[in-house]
Amino acid sequence: MTVKDPEIIKQIIRSNFDKSVQSYESYEQKYGRFRQLTYELAKICGIQEGMTVCDIGCGTGASTLALAELVGEDGRVVGIDFSDEMLKAARAKMKNLANTKFISCDAERLDEKIDFKVDAILYNASIFLMPNLSRTLRTAYEVLGLGGIVGMNYLKGMFSEPGGVNLFLSAKEERLEFAPYGRKVADVRTLPDTLSQTGFKDIEEGVTPLEMTGDEVKEFYSIPAQSAGLYPKTPYEERLKMLDALLDHVQNKGCAPLFQVWGWNKGKK
Ligand SMILES: C[S@@+](CC[C@H](N)C(=O)[O-])C[C@H]1O[C@@H](n2cnc3c(N)ncnc32)[C@H](O)[C@@H]1O
């Protein structure tokens, strides 16, 4: 049975992230990828000292901390997430930082919790987990001040090289028994149109490729919430076995290193 109710999809995502804190933290401490992606996105969006920024889907705070460094003491970062466990870890890590604050909130309901105008709203590695993109962007538009920036990045897939073969997709096309069968929560290809329909202007897009070893890819997907996206409803240990078989297959084809490619979009109110 396919889950279509967006509220049920969100509950599943929240519960997967509630179970992901430890592996998320150990992956991030080792590789610093979410921090790297935040810096890239912040540069694209022109984040500067003194700005007030909302970090939507802040998780355990890797993106919040990077943004707090960029906006400095005169700026402010508000981390938003709906996973209590991810937020608990973020709060514990940043309890001494005066320029950060965390709020438990569904990204679709931002305007119910934010009663001040913000300069930028960033979704670092989170927008593709939000089933209703138009509702999500509408609430962001409400909260942004005039001239405010919205920016987001999303996982496009694992590639043999930037612009090369989408490896997980081709395993699916070959009908391999260990091919990922998860469906995308949000159709991120609609983001430029949805941004424009919401009222955003100056819309731009691009990609950020990250070169990875097979070991790193394995650790990335050993985060329960990440592997659940590839093999939904399969028990965790089974998911890891299927992933091992998939990575062996890809590497036997001579694909090493691999490229994890992230797409990005930005717009202006
Ligand atoms: C891949 S993590 C990224 C965390 C963080 N931005 C970073 O760079 O490390 C995605 C986060 O988005 C959160 N998230 C997903 N959908 C959400 C929603 N509808 N509202 C609030 N948070 C959401 C998840 O709970 C998770 O913590």
For the CA of 35, the nearest atom of ligand 1? 8
CB 32 within 8 A of CB 60: no
Does ligand 1 have an atom closer than 6 angstroms to the CB of 27?
no
Residue 256: the pLDDT is: 84
Average pLDDT of span 65-72: 98
* Ligand 1, atom 12, residue with closest C-alpha: 57
Distance CA 156, CA 163 (A): 11
Residue 183: the pLDDT is: 85
Most ligand 1 atoms within 8 A of CB, residue of 31, 38, 102, 126 to mutate: 126
List Cβ neighbours of 117 (8 Å cut-off, separation of 6 or more). Answer: 52, 143, 144, 145, 148
Distance CA 122, CA 150 (A): 6
- pLDDT digits 0-9 by tens, 226-235: 999 999 999 9
The total number of structural domains in the chain stands at 1
Q: Is 1 part of a structural domain of the chain?
A: no
Q: Is 244 part of a structural domain of the chain?
A: no
Average pLDDT of span 146-175: 93
Q: CB neighbours (10 Å) of residue 233?
A: 12
Q: Is 86 part of a structural domain of the chain?
A: yes
CA of 183 to the centre of ligand 1 (A): 18
CA of 128 to the centre of ligand 1 (A): 9
For the CA of 136, the nearest atom of ligand 1? 19
Q: Is 227 part of a structural domain of the chain?
A: no
Query: Domain holding 113: CATH number?
Result: 3.40.50.150
Q: Is 166 part of a structural domain of the chain?
A: no
Lowest mean pLDDT, pick from 1-10, 47-56, 192-201, 237-246: 1-10
Expressed as residue numbers, the domain containing 136 is 6-160+185-212+259-268
Percent with pLDDT over 90 in the chain: 90
Q: What confidence tier does 3 reach under pLDDT thresholds 50, 70, 90?
A: low
Q: Is 38 part of a structural domain of the chain?
A: yes
The overall average pLDDT reported for the chain is 95
- Give yes or no for residue 1 having a pLDDT over 70: no
